Amino acid sequence: MASLNQHLVTGSYPVEWQGHYIGGEWTQGEKKYEEKISLNPSRGTPLLAFTTAKEMMTQAVDAADESFGILQEITFEQRIAIIKRMADEFRSQKDLIAKCLQLEIGKPAWEAHHDVAATCDYLDWCAAHGPKIKENLLAPAMVGNSKPGDYDLHPIGVCTAYLPFSTPTTSFGFFFAGAIIAGCPLVLVSSTQAALCTMLFTEIVSKLDLPKGVFNTVFGGFTEFKSALNDTRVKAVIYTGSKEHCDKLRKDHKGFRNRQLILQSGGKNAALVHSSADLDKAVRNIIYGAFRSAGQLCSSTSRVFVFRSLLPEFIEKISKAVSHMPIGPSDQLEDGPNDGPLMGPLYSKKSVEKFLRFQTMAHRDALENIHWGKEFDDGSGGFFVYPGIHLMKEFDESSAFQSNILFSPDLSIYSYDVLNEAIEKMNATESCLSMAFFGDAHILRDRSHLFHAPNLLVNAPTTELEAHLPLAGRSLSGHHRYHGPGLALYLSYPQAFRDNPEDNELIMTWPWP
């Protein structure tokens, strides 16, 4: 961490890569294959270069598997204490983590500091509520059991998790805490665009003095992560990313019945502006939901349905606000927790090209392009675009543009007259994480069941206000699974231990031949 700090002070890059972290040691492997580079999206310049090694994943699973028995000997209370130490170490490095998010992920300072604070709060909460977490995790097993017995959670084994570039900090806290709560050794695989953050997180974990192999890191990308599915010792696969990648993982998962596949992909998250809405508040929240992280979150707002009589004023307000929205480099490391542009760069040149293709497609479906999304060059060499905002002719889920998950700063606006019909259109997508309703909350008292999204937010943006929303997405976006400590439900199994003489009373009265 001292070396990384020096690079940040001097501005000299790329940072020296320490290697993969396996069995408590840093190693670059004897055989080196493809070289990959993590870029600063605000400049398009290298931050960290590393080499992949095919045998590293096998070695990491070896180390994790060997540590499984040792980890089982650590009590639940001791594992909660590990999370507490992790929270303390994480907070001690909060400024350094925020700077890495600014440099590598393209998050403005205000967003980077928010993400770090949210992760610290989440780890603190887990550490402070250990007994309650265990009680809640065991609750489904204990429901309806009137006879006495002891209930406990047992880990399923080695788990692998992929660290996404869009939410590396919050995802790391989520994965680490879930694996430790369950008692499962973890193999963390970095995405190429989050390699610097992964190296920093791994250095922080190394300070905890965990048993060797409990936590391992393999640098690479989706290809390296996907190779873990070939190892039968891997009992859980945790992935957040594109629908295409999730589909590949499901396909390769076939035949491995004794494994948890915990996937989440992006969704066409929608907001609804009711006739009772405060328009200024709605516009502010929708802009935040659509353009935070440059629209590159699974929970980003893609669609907004506006009551027809409010449409002209809504368009005027959102157009004016976006026209004055600061967009620019996120790597000004002297910026404080409340500084920086509202929107930073996209994560790669490839993502810019994809965004521009979708703008052409939007033109065919739009009644009016309120803001034409386009690339712009501020001289920094970064991957910057102006967001796209389109008033659509009609809602058409068969349209290639309207049905596609863009994962970029783009917003489609639709008008509606009948509330229930608007809700039906919001439900049309099969991959929705959250929906936002702007207006009088009492309107939802008898209608909340009509919304199919697992997370329904009132007068708040679709993006996470805390480390994680309570539930993962709908259908292929997450199958309504739990977030937070609920991850431990998928990494463990409950067991009931009963030693009750009364259980034999019926047997003793049974007529023995």
Burial of 381 (0-12, 13-18, 19+ CB in 10 A): middle
The per-residue pLDDT for range 396-409, each reduced to its tens digit, is 989 999 998 889 99
pLDDT at 509: 77
Examine the pLDDT at 355 and tell me if it is beyond 90.
yes
pLDDT at 499: 74
pLDDT at 347: 95
pLDDT at 254: 73
Q: Is 44 left (phi over 0), alpha (psi -120 to 50) or beta?
A: left
Strand partners, 272: 305, 437
Q: Are 188 and 217 in contact (CB under 8 A)?
A: yes
Taking the chain, what is the end-to-end CA distance rounded to the nearest angstrom?
75
Examine the pLDDT at 101 and tell me if it is beyond 80.
yes
Examine the pLDDT at 393 and tell me if it is beyond 80.
yes
DSSP 6-32: HHHHHT--SBPP--EEETTEEE--SS-
The first and second tokens of residue 411, run together, are 């917003």
pLDDT at 467: 57
pLDDT at 146: 67
pLDDT band at 501 (very low <50, low <70, confident <90, very high): low
Q: Are 14 and 43 in contact (CB under 8 A)?
A: no
The first and second tokens of residue 179, run together, are 């694996």
Q: Give the dihedral of Cα atoms 155, 159, 163, 166; nearest 10 deg.
A: -60
pLDDT at 474: 76
Q: Are 407 and 269 in contact (CB under 8 A)?
A: no
Average pLDDT on 250-278 reads: 87
Prior bond of 14 cis (ω within 30°): yes
pLDDT at 258: 83
pLDDT band at 164 (very low <50, low <70, confident <90, very high): very high
Q: Are 167 and 197 in contact (CB under 8 A)?
A: no
Question: In the β-sheet with 25-27, what is the strand arrangement from edge to edge?
Answer: 25-27, 20-22, 215-218, 186-190, 158-163, 234-241, 260-265
pLDDT band at 231 (very low <50, low <70, confident <90, very high): very high
What is the C-alpha to C-alpha distance for residues 210 and 204, in angstroms, rounded to an integer? Answer: 11
pLDDT band at 430 (very low <50, low <70, confident <90, very high): low
Set out the domains of the chain in order of their start, with CATH numbers. 20-38+49-73+153-266+473-494 (3.40.605.10), 269-458 (3.40.309.10)
Examine the pLDDT at 485 and tell me if it is beyond 90.
no
Determine the 3-state secondary structure of 382 from DSSP: coil
Average pLDDT on 242-270 reads: 84
pLDDT at 105: 97
Average pLDDT on 373-401 reads: 94
Examine the pLDDT at 356 and tell me if it is beyond 80.
yes
Q: Are 510 and 159 in contact (CB under 8 A)?
A: no
Q: Are 41 and 347 in contact (CB under 8 A)?
A: yes
Mean pLDDT of the chain: 91
Average pLDDT on 254-263 reads: 83
Residue bearing tokens 């997450």? 478
HSE-CB for 292 with a 13 A CA cutoff:
23
Examine the pLDDT at 437 and tell me if it is beyond 60.
yes
What is the C-alpha to C-alpha distance for residues 123 and 169, in angstroms, rounded to an integer? Answer: 11
pLDDT at 466: 59
The residue that leads in pLDDT, 318 or 251, is 318
- pTM confidence score: 0.94
Please state which of the ranges 107-111, 134-138, 389-393 shows the lowest mean pLDDT: 134-138
Residue bearing tokens 């929608």? 270
Determine the 3-state secondary structure of 435 from DSSP: strand
pLDDT at 151: 84
* Residue 109 parent element (H or E): helix 109-128
Burial of 330 (0-12, 13-18, 19+ CB in 10 A): buried
Determine the 3-state secondary structure of 198 from DSSP: helix
The per-residue pLDDT for range 440-474, each reduced to its tens digit, is 999 988 899 999 888 999 999 998 765 567 888 77
pLDDT at 268: 86
pLDDT at 394: 96
Q: Are 101 and 200 in contact (CB under 8 A)?
A: no
What is the C-alpha to C-alpha distance for residues 359 and 496, in angstroms, rounded to an integer? Answer: 56
pLDDT at 278: 97
Q: Are 312 and 298 in contact (CB under 8 A)?
A: no
The per-residue pLDDT for range 303-327, each reduced to its tens digit, is 999 999 999 999 999 999 999 999 9
The per-residue pLDDT for range 323-341, each reduced to its tens digit, is 999 999 999 988 889 999 9
pLDDT at 465: 67
Where helices occur in 129-234 by DSSP H, the ranges are: 130-142, 168-182, 195-206, 222-227
HSE-CB for 221 with a 13 A CA cutoff:
14
What is the C-alpha to C-alpha distance for residues 172 and 169, in angstroms, rounded to an integer? Answer: 5
The helices-and-strands tally (H runs, E runs) of the chain is 16, 20
Buried b (16+ CB within 10 A) or exposed e, 458-473: eebbbbbeebbbebbb
What is the sign, positive or negative, of the torsion defined by CA atoms of 118, 120, 124, 130? positive
Average pLDDT on 274-303 reads: 96
pLDDT band at 46 (very low <50, low <70, confident <90, very high): very high
The per-residue pLDDT for range 59-84, each reduced to its tens digit, is 999 999 999 999 999 999 999 999 99
* Residue 269 parent element (H or E): strand 269-273
Q: What is the bridge-based pairing of β-strands 492-497 and 150-155?
A: antiparallel
What is the C-alpha to C-alpha distance for residues 246 and 222, in angstroms, rounded to an integer? Answer: 11
The first and second tokens of residue 294, run together, are 């440059």
pLDDT at 91: 97
Q: Are 13 and 39 in contact (CB under 8 A)?
A: no
Q: Give the dihedral of Cα atoms 87, 93, 97, 98; nearest 10 deg.
A: 100
